[in-house]
Structure 1
């Protein structure tokens, strides 16, 4: 990845938004929408939506070829596999075989390749920059995450009704919430109310 900064602003269909940092670009990608009950959070409705997401930092993969409907479908399949694999690891169970196969298939394609700019002080993705390369890069990052030292720090938000998953890369490894401003504050408020309701 070209930059270490991760995180995106997530929007609730009922209103409101908050910044959620999943700790890895591939996990940020896993939160762009979903299937079933998560379909209301879908942000990749059209091929162009995928191109716009990939072009944003930190990946900053400005595509030279427009995203095709087939690439969008492949992206959503990979997204689901990353989501499933992350939740499996967070629950300390084996990653389901279908997710493993999907991630490996995406990773097998050529990834994005960095090249130095003329002055030798900055870098950019070598052209052409295609969606399949970006998806391969995301899949490879997920493989590194699942097999690396942070694999035991993949966690689901501690809130009872929040399915967001993240990798805790903080030094103390004490992160519990998707975002302190969201589930963390809600937990504090509930604890505060419970304490005052039992103490006359």
Structure 2
């Protein structure tokens, strides 16, 4: 099961390497099967697309190129030329094809079409009006980038669970600890004043 807190498939794709700021980031795309599941869960494909080890390696290269472009856009730096060329090359390719059936809509996709969908979404997000709304999660360990569509752009975390809850719980514990220390200090000062 993958997480989708970014607000756009390209951001969530880049976020499959979680906790990039740690010495030991967590890889959510660790097998061809997990790539296949990601395509389905993201909505790019309706069913899992059979993926091979070579597809996974290609996905990881594309993911890192997407992430480099996202970080460059957020920090207002020039795009890495190789990352930009790679994403643009994928964006030129055909994307998944929606079909109308008697049961409703069906999306047929190959791995290459799914990569093209991620690349086009990257172009759309980074080149569109919401690029200025990109933020990195306020949890210092989390590296998920998301589109802050909240009122007043006041969202701080990629998601309340786990990041927001973790930070709020830590802040509560810190406030409680400070309050207890102040109470102990006050009690001691009163006792010394009496003695």
Which band: TM-score by shorter chain?
0.7 to 0.9
- Say if 1:106 and 1:39 are closer, same or farther in 2 by CA, change over 3 A: farther
The answer to whether structure 1 residue 60 and structure 2 residue 42 are counterparts is no
Taking structure 1 as the reference length, the TM-score comes to 0.74
Taking structure 2 as the reference length, the TM-score comes to 0.76
1:106 deviates by 1.5
Runs of 4+ in 1 over 4 A off after TM superposition: 34-40, 193-196
> Bigger radius of gyration, 1 or 2?
2
Q: Structure 1: how far apart are the matches of 2:128 and 2:167? A: 31
Which aligned pairs between 1:40-119 and structure 2 lie closer than 5 A?
Answer: 40-62=25-47, 66-118=50-102
Q: Structure 1: how far apart are the matches of 2:11 and 2:144? A: 10
Q: Structure 2: how far apart are the matches of 1:67 and 1:130? A: 9
1:59 deviates by 2.5
1:36 deviates by 10
SS at match of 1:183: helix
1:23 deviates by 0.8
Which aligned pairs between 1:119-134 and structure 2 lie closer than 5 A?
Answer: 122-126=104-108, 129-134=109-114
Q: Say which structure, 1 or 2, has more relative contact order (CA 8 Å, 6+ apart).
A: 2
Structure 2: tracts of 5 or more residues without a match = 184-195
- Say if 1:62 and 1:102 are closer, same or farther in 2 by CA, change over 3 A: same
SS at match of 1:162: coil
The alignment's C-alpha RMSD in Å is 2.9
- Greater share of helix residues, 1 or 2? 2
Structure 1: tracts of 5 or more residues without a match = 1-6, 10-19
Which aligned pairs between 1:1-200 and structure 2 lie closer than 5 A?
Answer: 8-9=2-3, 21-33=5-17, 40-62=25-47, 66-118=50-102, 122-126=104-108, 129-196=109-176, 197=178, 200=183
